[in-house]
Structure 1
Amino acid sequence: MMPVLRSGALGLVLSLALSMTACQAGPKEARPPQAAPPSSPESTKGGPPATAPAAPPPPALSAGEQAQLDQDLVTAAKANDVPLVRELTRRGGNVNAKDGLQDSAFLYAGAEGFNEVLGLTLAAGADVASTNRYGGTALIPASEHGHVDTVRILIDAGVPVNHVNNLGWTAMQEAILLNSGGPRQQEVVRLLLAAGADPEIRDPEGRTALQNAERLGFTEVANLLRHRG
């Protein structure tokens, strides 16, 4: 027979058994501490990165300095010096300022077909309705010289196509009267017609563009004018 344990002895036995079980299980494995998630640049700086500051405006010039800068710009344009024109306009050169011959950087570039310079002057605020010493827009000599790409640029820029200069000629009349009627002149006439130029505007002799083309024997130009519709 198993001996009967008294209540005090039984409690002691149970206490010893629990202690042995805890020792066999061993201590629980400690978990390494978790690293905090890295903070974003926005959170550390208190907001998105700041953008680069805008370039400061050019310093204010005296009247004499501005006049010299403007004349240097006209001279650079006449030399077709694209980098210098870019630099002078960046410094505040006025593309509408004129020299003693009433040429501005814009007017001269348009007349001579200096298209890179012309583009810089347009970007810098050229007055497309300005006129030269003959009272003509940049489009009139450009048409006379047959600068086809320049004519496109000037038309797109909004130069008036029906302006009449001091000689009584429009761009179309000058394209016919002062050139050979060749392929470039034909294309200029075509561009002017497409832009709304009026071939019925007469020269000081009372002749229309068609009459002048026929008189000079420019058959292709005359055909363009007859069939303009």
Structure 2
Amino acid sequence: MLREWRSCRTPLMLASSHGHLDVVKLLIDRGATVNDKDMDGWTALHLAAGNGQVVVVTLLLERGAGLRAKSNTGRTPLILASFHGHLDVVKLLIDRGTPVNDKDMDGWTALHLAAENGQVVVVTLLLERGADLTAKSNTGRTPLMLASYNGHSGVVKLLIDRGAPVNDKDMDGWTALHLAAENGQVVVVTLLLERGADLTAKSNTGRTPLMLASYNGHSGVVKLLIDRGAPVNDKDMDGWTALHLAAENGQVVVVTLLLERGADLTAKSNTGRTPLMLASYNGHSGVVKLLIDRGAPVNDKDMDGWTALHLAAENGQVVVVTLLLERGADLTAKSNTGRTPLMLASYNGHSDVVKLLIDRGAPIDDKDIGGYTALHDAARNGHIGVVNLLLERGADLKARTLYNETPLIVASSKGHLDVVKFLIDRGAPINDMDVTGWTALRYSKNYGKKSSDYLESKGGIE
């Protein structure tokens, strides 16, 4: 039998899909194989069922089509018909003996698929015919969870009325309320709460429905959950609150709402990070401004001694850096290892932030506990634009670390030829040695870097 070349579909499959009963009958009478499969493992019955071709489904069943045939992903004709809401096909397949609770490779049943797609009439029929409303997928998801996530309030109500456990959890510890809240389904959230959903339920990582709604900016759900008593300052396993999550994701409307409802803007995560720090790192200037206006301490430090300015500078957030400086951020602040915002910006090659910090008075030649300056940082990471800027602003190209390394030595050890050339052109001593007696050339040769030939041509020695 000829097949459609792309998907290996036979004429029988195509005729079945489109409901051409006479053609289907003719092809079978002429010997077409009823249970042939295409590249996806679909049979003619799958295609007819998925497209709601009830008359063709009837004929195929009479001619021996396999009710329980599964596609490559384990889908049966019943599962496809249920997903697409073809009630008459669903009824016919069940009447002919299709197991209602068969699962696909992901552990989804026909009820899961119908619930996910909001097919309330099909869900009703499946339940009447014995579908298991507590069935869980491979990830622990129930039909109620899928309906909740997708906002199908009619299906949600029906499933709960029929006894679906409201507070069941999936493998990640998420309930139907978590899923509805995460996806901003305010009507379903309302319904779940009315039916006893636990708004303090925590996932395996300690996340509450309020946290998920806050992170995703669903202000209507956030307001509803708080109005119903959700604790605003609950923390997850990392010590993050709903405010941390909203701030990190730049949800300024939700941040405003949380602050109005008593969220603690000084709350610190397990690593000492505040909402202001997270917003600063991610460049959310609107949230940064709002938090500072509401009293967030600008110069708070995390467990590593980093401030919001350190984080914004490290990530190149020039607008936020400007705002923080205007609001009193300390540009000389040092982390536990002596790192300044200028060093972090230099290390990561953020020339606009480097320029701004220097213009505002950041000390260029400050050293961290290892004796590294901003110039060392820029040189070892090959950021020639920042190296140029620092030298123009007076950085010491002879500065040495605790191990007597110069910017030229660190650039050579990393093989940054353009930086090596630039530093030498600016007068960097080519044969300075570190505490081990190694020169730039020796480092370059030892690590097989391409800068060695250039250093030798300039009179470098080992």
Moved more, 137-146 or 69-78: 69-78
Please give the alpha-carbon distance, in whole angstroms, between the structure 1 residues aligned to 2:289 and 2:386: 28
Is 2:374 aligned against 1:171?
A: yes
Equivalent-residue separation in structure 2 for 1:211 and 1:82 (angstroms): 39
Q: Given the alignment, which residue of 190, 193, 209 partners 2:391?
A: 193
Alignment of 1:149-228 (within 5 A): 149-177=352-380, 179=381, 181=382, 185-228=383-426
Letter in 2 for 1:176: A
TM superposition shift of 1:115: 1.3
Alignment of structure 1 residues 27-46 onto 2, 5 Å: none
Shift of 1:112: 1.3
Do the aligned partners of residues 74 and 218 (structure 1) sit closer, same or farther apart at CA in structure 2, a change above 3 Å counting? closer
- Between the two proteins, the alignment pairs up a number of residues equal to 161
CA contact 2:309–2:321 (8 Å) conserved in 1: yes
Q: Secondary structure at 1:187's aligned position in 2?
A: helix
Q: Where do 5+ consecutive residues of structure 2 fail to align?
A: 1-263, 428-462
Q: Following the alignment from structure 2 to structure 1, what is the Cα–Cα distance between the partners of residues 402 and 304?
A: 25
Supply the distance in 2 between the matched residues of 1:214 and 1:105 (Cα, whole angstroms). Answer: 33
Offset at 1:142? 0.9
> What is the CA–CA distance in structure 1 between the aligned matches of 2:304 and 2:368, rounded to whole Å?
16
Q: Which is higher, the Rg of structure 1 or of structure 2? A: 1
Deviation at residue 141 of structure 1 after TM alignment = 1.4
TM-score, structure 2 normalization = 0.33
TM superposition shift of 1:107: 1.4
In 1, Cα distance between the equivalents of 2:317 and 2:369? 24
List structure 1 runs of 4+ shifted beyond 6 angstroms: none
Question: What does residue 57 of structure 1 align with?
Answer: none
Which position in structure 1 is the counterpart of 2:323?
120
Please tell me whether the aligned partners of residues 266 and 274 of structure 2 are also in contact (alpha carbons under 8 angstroms).
yes
Structure 2 Cα separation of the partners of residues 79 and 112 of structure 1: 7
For residue 336 of structure 2, the aligned residue among 133, 154, 157 is 133
Query: Share of identical aligned residues, percent?
Result: 35
Tell me by how many angstroms 1:167 deviates: 2.2
CA distance in 2, matches of 1:219, 1:75: 36
Q: For the residues of structure 2 that align with 1:139 and 1:73, how far apart are their CA atoms?
A: 19
Counterpart pick for 1:86 among 274, 280, 289: 289
- In the alignment, the residues of structure 1 paired with residue 416 and residue 291 of structure 2 have an alpha-carbon distance, to the nearest angstrom, of 43
Comparing 133-142 with 65-74, greater Cα deviation is found at 65-74
Alpha-carbon RMSD: 2.3
Question: What's the CA shift string for 1:196-220, capped at 9, x where partnerless?
Answer: 1101111233221123323433222
Task: Write the letter of the residue equivalent to 1:189.
Answer: V
User: In 1, distance between residues paired with 2:278 and 2:407?
Assistant: 35
